[in-house]
Amino acid sequence: MRWLTNPVAQFLATGFVTLVVVALATSALSRQAADEEAVADARALTQVLGRSVAQPDIPEGLVAGDAAAIDRLDRTVLDRLLVGDVRRIKVWAADGTVLYSDRTELIGAVYPLGEDELDVITDGGTDAELSDLTRPENRYERSLGGDLFEVYTRIRSPEGDPLLFEAYFTADELGEQRAAVLDRFLPISIGALAALVALTTPLMLLLNRRLSRSARERERLLEAAVRASDAERLRIARDLHDGVVQDLAGSSMALSTLAARSDGRLAEELQDVGRSLRVSMRSLRSLLVEIYPPDLHTAGLAAAVQDLVAPLAADGVHVDADISGDEDASAAAVALVWRVAQESVRNVARHARASRMSLTVHREADLLVLEVVDDGAGFDPGATAGDEHFGLRAAGSLVREHGGSMEVDSTPGSGTMVRVEVPLA
Model confidence at 131, in pLDDT bands (50, 70, 90)? confident
pLDDT at 256 over 90: no
Half-sphere exposure of 364 (CA within 13 A, CB side): 10
Model confidence at 151, in pLDDT bands (50, 70, 90)? very high
Write the Ramachandran bin of 2: left for phi over 0, alpha for psi from -120 to 50, otherwise beta.
alpha
Residue 154 pLDDT = 94
Neighbour tally for 29: CB within 10 Å: 14
Residue 421 pLDDT = 93
236 CB-near residues (< 8 Å, 6+ apart): 291, 292
Model confidence at 200, in pLDDT bands (50, 70, 90)? confident
pLDDT for 384-397, tens place per residue? 555 555 667 777 88
Q: Who has greater pLDDT, 185 or 368?
A: 368
Residue 178 pLDDT = 62
Runs of H (alpha helix) within 246-389? 246-261, 264-291, 296-299, 301-314, 331-347
pLDDT at 168 over 80: yes
